[in-house]
């Protein structure tokens, strides 16, 4: 292989980059929103494959779970609230956008000339603090996966901020769309009761037409427990391989959304009430921040996990990382469900108004 002018991995990278370019061009030329969302999922999946080729497995895992997975589902949910076809873009605006993107792309390509070579041992990413992480992670944290050690321990403040950002995004969606919680309403009047009775009879007739989904329901009952089990594996195996709270939370939310798509939103709300989802969005951040408060109470610094076990600091690191990753899992899964619940509830309201 060394005698070849270009190795096989370079050829694979060039093929993936070419496919990304083709998909990107197709995205900007399409007006059908459903096709755009599907191609976005394809683009994210190709990006995840490229990250694997570059040995960035944790980034690839996140891209596959978030970009190709949950984001596609959420965009499909958002598309229910609008038309499937985008309005034609005026020619002047189209060319203006093209020139702006071309200029930005040219500037980015020019900036890459000053970047170090890929894998350069003397590059800033492989020197200074990054080199210290590689040298001291095993002795100080005791985890084979350096990425998890850096994100949850060395840079625990940053990850805490990212978790708060996810919570803020969920709160924004709930403030705009709601989450379908009806608490605090007055008792229904007689006309409302009659309307609900008529609607219930309509729902019975609708359920009678859903028997053709029996194959999907059986397959979903087989897959959903496996997906949940895999989410737990990703959560608690993130110390040794790719994974962690972010990826596990997205996978867990995907299992619930799959259940909703197959068995209906009402069944999902009975299984996981919106109130639980609302509580979970904040509970995860409280678990994360509470871990830091406990370390302060024990005489250490905020998120200094060593004090959780004074006799074995490495075990204290493991405990702290486990707690904060659980907090990330709870917040991420709850926020993803809150966004989905918001879109689904809004779509149902629009259907009821049309009816």
Q: Which of 57-61, 108-112, 210-214, 300-304 has the lowest average pLDDT?
A: 210-214
What does the pLDDT average to over 151-165?
A: 92
Answer yes or no: is pLDDT of 129 > 90.
no
Residue 252's pLDDT is 93
Residue 6's pLDDT is 65
The whole model's pTM is what?
0.79
Residue 351's pLDDT is 56
CA atoms within 13 A on the CB side of 44: 19
What does the pLDDT average to over 223-232?
A: 93
Residue 311: Cβ within 10 Å count: 6
What does the pLDDT average to over 235-245?
A: 85
Residue 349's pLDDT is 55
Residue 80's pLDDT is 73
Q: What CA–CA distance (Å, rounded) separates 40 from 191?
A: 46
Domains in the chain, please, with CATH?
A: 1-115 (1.20.120.1200), 153-355 (no CATH)
With b meaning 16 or more CB within 10 Å and e meaning fewer, what string describes 192-221? eeeeeeeeeeeeeeeeeeeeeeeeeeeebe
């Amino acid at each position: 292989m060394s005698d070849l002018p270009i190795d096989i991995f370079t050829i694979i990278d060039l093929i993936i980059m070419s496919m990304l370019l083709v998909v990107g061009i197709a995205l900007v030329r399409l007006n059908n929103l459903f096709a755009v969302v599907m191609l976005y999922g394809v683009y994210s999946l190709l990006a995840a494959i490229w990250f694997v080729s570059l040995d960035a497995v944790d980034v690839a895992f996140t891209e596959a779970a978030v970009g190709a997975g949950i984001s596609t589902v959420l965009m499909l949910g958002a598309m229910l609230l609008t038309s499937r076809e985008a309005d034609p873009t005026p020619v002047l605006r189209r060319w203006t956008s093209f020139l702006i993107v071309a200029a930005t792309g040219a500037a980015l390509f020019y900036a890459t000339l000053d970047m170090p070579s890929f894998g350069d041992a003397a590059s800033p990413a492989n020197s200074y603090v990054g080199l210290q992480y590689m040298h001291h992670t095993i002795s100080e944290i005791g985890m084979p996966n350096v990425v998890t050690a850096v994100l949850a321990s060395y840079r625990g403040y940053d990850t805490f901020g990212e978790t708060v950002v996810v919570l803020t995004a969920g709160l924004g969606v709930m403030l705009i769309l709601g989450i379908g919680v009806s608490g605090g309403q007055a008792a229904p009047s007689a006309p409302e009761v009659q309307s609900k009775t008529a609607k219930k009879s309509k729902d019975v007739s609708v359920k009678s037409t859903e028997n053709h989904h029996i194959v999907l329901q059986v397959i979903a009952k087989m897959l959903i427990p496996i997906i949940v089990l895999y989410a737990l594996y990703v959560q608690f195996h993130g110390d040794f391989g790719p994974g962690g709270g972010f990826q596990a939370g997205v996978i867990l939310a995907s299992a619930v959304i799959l259940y909703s798509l197959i068995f209906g939103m009402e069944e999902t709300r009975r299984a996981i009430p919106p109130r639980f989802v609302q509580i979970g969005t904040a509970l995860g951040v409280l678990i994360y921040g509470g871990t830091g408060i406990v370390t302060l109470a024990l005489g250490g610094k905020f998120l200094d996990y060593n004090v959780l076990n004074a006799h074995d600091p490495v075990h204290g690191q493991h405990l702290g990382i486990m707690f904060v990753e659980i907090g990330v899992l709870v917040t991420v899964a709850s926020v993803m469900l809150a966004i989905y619940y918001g879109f689904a509830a809004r779509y149902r309201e629009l259907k009821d108004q049309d009816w």
